[in-house]
Amino acid sequence: MFKLNPLAAAVLVLASTQTPAATSDSLQTQFGAENIADVQQIGADLASTLQFQDGEGNNAAAYQTVTDNLIDQNQEGTYNAGYAEQMQEDSGKIEQKQKGDYNTAHASQSSGTNNEVLQKQENSGNFSFVMQASQFDSIAKTIQLGSYNEANVEQLFGGANNARINQYGDSGYATAEHLNHTNGDIEINQYDQGNWAYAEQGSSDGGIVLVNQTGNFNSTEVWQDGQLGNSRASVEQNGDTNETIVDQSYGSSNLATIMQIGNTNAIYADQYESSNSVTNLFQNGNGNNALTYQTGLNHSLVITTTGDDNKIYASDWQGPENEHGGQFGDSQIAVLNQDGTGNTITLKQEDVGQATQIDQNGSGNSANVKQSEAYNELYFEQNGTDNILVADQHGTSNLAEGSSYGAGNKVELDQSGSSNLSYIYQLGGGDNTAIVKQSDGVNMAFVNQNGMGNTANVTQSSSGMNADVQQTGNLNQATVLQQ
């Protein structure tokens, strides 16, 4: 498609000036079909190339080395191709503007600093590609207006570079990559229906990815593997049937923030073998699903869901096969909030300083929480219909509080080892059941149930046991066994 050979006889050059000395300017204007414009400027200080083509099937190519200046390509029509390359440039710039359908723009910059690529394509079916290798403090910007366009940016072996892609129209496709890169920024904005965005920062440090999709049927993938510190992924989807995948594995001190406002949204967020990483998920809509996976040290997980049919599993890996569970390591914290219909939370936290807070307001809520050895704490509140909580705490400073307001409530809790405390309140009418089991340690259980078909069963085994059960309302039963 791109031809860098000398100009063929068929080329129509209406205006061209070139100076082989320190300054070199080239202006080429072509009208018609299947024209070729080819310029090479090597070692010419402040050289510039301006190429304009109007027609169909035209090719424009420009090559600069150590010129520190501008390549400007303008093409109007269909099936045109523009190629621009700069090497060893400082503050060089490539501008490629194409207006029409099925055009292709390719820009390449290598071994330079403070360089910039700007691509703008209008109409449908266009393709753009930017490659910046061994660049520092350089920028790649792509703007596409129309439908079924594709934009790609690769920035390799450099640092502090920025990639920006804006797509306006239906079914846009955008990818941006930083590999072996430090402190780079990627931003992808897509507007209207059926867009797909892919961003990757691998074997890098301090990268930032921002993805914003407004419209329907959107999908996003963000990969930040091997990020060694302070990398961020932020995804916002506003529309229908959105899906987001964020993977920040094998890194440290990374942050993933995902917001979905719309219908039938799904989130897959992984921080595998990662330390000091945080996941923040926000969903507001229908049929939302959040699957997360965290292993490593000092994780924190915050999820807020407002809508219908919401689920959270915490993954290992993805769910449901018995709904799995996540967060393995030490010093984990999880805060989960769901407000809607048909909510489910399954969370598994393993060793050292776990803490969990669960709030579910709605109907059909269920929570299944497991915490293992060391500083376990659990705070839960379910106030709605058909609430069930099953909790398992094993090992050292256990604490569980509680509540379950309205109908069909059931709480089961098993605590084992050391300073156990349990407060379970089910206040309000419903088929309440509370079963508390505590084993060896400084045990205390307090159960308060108020209204309709209550049953309380408390078992405490050894050490400084203490149990207080109060039930007001219909069909109450209480069994306390202390040994």
- Rounded to 10 degrees, the C-alpha dihedral 133/98/43/140 comes to -30
Closest CA relative to residue 58, chosen from 118, 15, 128, 2: 2
Q: How far apart (Å, rounded) are the C-alpha atoms in residues 413 and 464?
A: 19
What's the pTM value of the predicted model, to 2 decimals? 0.87
Percent of the chain with pLDDT over 90: 56
User: Where does the pLDDT of residue 213 fall: very low under 50, low under 70, confident under 90, or very high at 90 and above?
Assistant: very high
Residue pair 303/281 in contact (Cβ under 8 Å)? The answer is yes
Instruction: Identify the pLDDT of residue 40.
Output: 93
Do residues 42 and 101 touch, judged by C-beta distance below 8 A? Answer: no
Dump pLDDT digits (tens) for 353-408. 999 999 999 989 999 899 999 999 999 999 999 998 999 999 999 999 999 989 89
Secondary structure (DSSP) of 158-197: -BS-EEEEEEESSS-EEEEEEES-BS-EEEEEEESSS-EE
202 — pLDDT class (breaks 50, 70, 90): confident
171/424: higher pLDDT: 424
Closest CA to 42 of 2, 4, 12, 77: 4
Please give the mean pLDDT across all residues of the chain.
87
Q: What is the pLDDT of residues 26-39, one digit of tens each?
A: 999 999 999 999 99
Longest CA span, the chain: 102
| Confidence grade of residue 310 (pLDDT, cut at 50, 70, 90) | confident
What single string gives the DSSP state of each residue in 349-382? E-SBS--EEEEEEEES-EEEEEE-SBS--EEEEE
